[in-house]
Homo-oligomer: A and B are copies of this chain.
Amino acid sequence: MHAWTGSPTIGEAGELAALAAILPRLTASAARLVGPGDDAAVIAAPDGRLVVTSDSMVEGPDFLRAWSSPYDVGWKLAAVNLADVAAMGARPTALVVALAVPRDLPIAALESIADGLRDACAAIAPGCGVEGGDLAESPVTTAVATAFGDLEGRAAVLRSGARVGDVVAVTGTLGWAAQGLRWLARGARLDPFGLPDGQQASESVLRRARSQLTAQLRPSPKVGHAIAAAAAGASAMLDVSDGVALDASRIASASGVRIDLGEAAAGVLDAAEDHAFLATFPPDVPLPDGFSPIGAVVAGSGVSLLGEPLDAAGWDPFRRA
């Protein structure tokens, strides 16, 4: 199941057969007005403003076939885009997906990507679905999604709204996705689940390993919490994808403040890909369900941990040596 090899391939079956295999697996979004099959789709934007974001997954830099199944790639592609929409305080309504794949990719792998996209939408943002896209040929499997969201009358929550005195809070589990990546590097796999050869572990370690692999390969950002944060009056918010230190520094920089992180952030400062939501709340706003305090907005610039300045230079995909 969920294999990268097999037949028939898309080169054998052709583009029309591939589309005929993919499209019925997708669930229509509640915002669909005109679905796939015309020059473009038409989706509802009842608010009159549309939140739009785009994120990519490229084989090699962003995923490895040995670690991620096609289903995982579809799931994660949807998840990271839905998280960016929700980080603005919007409810995700639809995705369009451009796939560029080699001719020897099995039709079954395309179906698994579609299943992952569909299941991630259903799990993370019910009502959201794929409303079109593009299928192209490439020597390198590349998946790009563009996601849309409706603000439902709310103001967009930007990175620039944090004010001195605000509470910094987070929803989602920090550090687990990075632990999942470590498990993968050591030989663990999610589907079928297994630790590296010969490794013994207690039930609780196995459960945790599986959760950490899932956090890495099939993240489930708490989109409902992010929308609730916007409704409650969050002053700033973002999707924590590059580690809480670097992402907090982005709010600090955009808002002209310092963010002082507390002890809960200590072990997970650089842990990437959690797709947790980091938000700031005015002191009179009760934290919405799911948010835990993790720091405070103070005067100054940059990020500190328990008052000690941090260097949050961060990760640059192009400069890793």
Contacts and interface: CB of A to CB of B under 8 A. Distances in A.
B54 A318 contact: no
Interface stretch (A10-18, A187-195, A200-208): A10-18
Interface residues of A, number: 71
A317 B136 contact: yes
A16 B88 contact: no
Contacts of A138: 58, 60-61, 140, 142
Contacts of A151: 42
Interface in A165-209: none
A250 to B, nearest CB: 9
Contact of A58 (B49, B96, B131, B137): B137
Contact of A140 (B134, B139, B158): B139
Nearest to A139: B140
Interface string A61-98: 11000000000000000000001110110100010111
25 contacts: A11-B319, A13-B318, A14-B319, A15-B317, A34-B158, A38-B159, A38-B238, A39-B83, A40-B149, A41-B52, A41-B53, A42-B51, A42-B52, A42-B156, A43-B50, A44-B48, A50-B148, A54-B132, A54-B133, A55-B134, A56-B136, A60-B139, A62-B136, A98-B144, A103-B318
